[in-house]
Amino acid sequence: MTGVELLAGAAVGYLIRKLRKVGGKADAEVDRVLDDGMDALHELISARLGSDGALERLRLEAQAGAETGLTVRRSEDAIAQVALDDPDFAARLQLLVEILDERAAAIGEAAGAGSTHNVISGTVHGSVLQGRDFTGSIAFGSAGPAALPGEDGQGKGAAPIA
């Protein structure tokens, strides 16, 4: 991914949060802190790409709390293309995303020990694990065929599962 694609992904992540807020489905405390920045980001993107069909669809899906991967990718691509074509837009977008990232990080720090604030912006390709203080093994994907009852996976007998 290029820097512009990452920037567009972060912008869409915040835009979705803003649009969900309009639909009443976002976290009120976090939104209170991020509100001004999300409003400015929404205004910047809407002013520059207001008639883009992908963004209109994103608005509808986010307000319903059910945005699709395709709509998110199309919105990211539209924003990335404008950012590539318009360096002033790209710079303003970069500044707003940085401000929002700093505010989101401050929320996590202010929450203190014992709390977690996870944010994913943009499109994720692959597995994601979010949380705090994990212990033990963590694996993604297939661990191979499951052992049959009475087998320990190595072909040797084990206690049957009751």
Domain boundaries, the chain: 3-111
Q: Which residues contact 22 (CB under 8 A, 6 or more apart)?
A: 63
Q: Which residues contact 34 (CB under 8 A, 6 or more apart)?
A: 14, 17, 100, 103, 104, 107
What is the rounded distance in angstroms from the CA atom of residue 104 to the CA atom of residue 118? 9
DSSP annotation of 141 reads S
Q: Which residue has the higher pLDDT, 40 or 37?
A: 40
Encode pLDDT of 120-136 as tens digits: 666 666 666 666 556 66
Q: Is the pLDDT of residue 160 over 80?
A: no
What is the rounded distance in angstroms from the CA atom of residue 112 to the CA atom of residue 140? 29
Q: Is the pLDDT of residue 86 over 90?
A: yes
pTM over 0.85: no
Q: What percent of the chain has pLDDT over 90?
A: 19
The b-or-e profile of 24-60 (16+ CB within 10 A means b, else e) is eebeeebeebbeebbebbbebbeebbeebebbebbbe
Mean pLDDT of 88-103: 89
Q: How many Cβ atoms from other residues are within 10 Å of residue 73's Cβ?
A: 16
Q: Is the pLDDT of residue 75 over 50?
A: yes
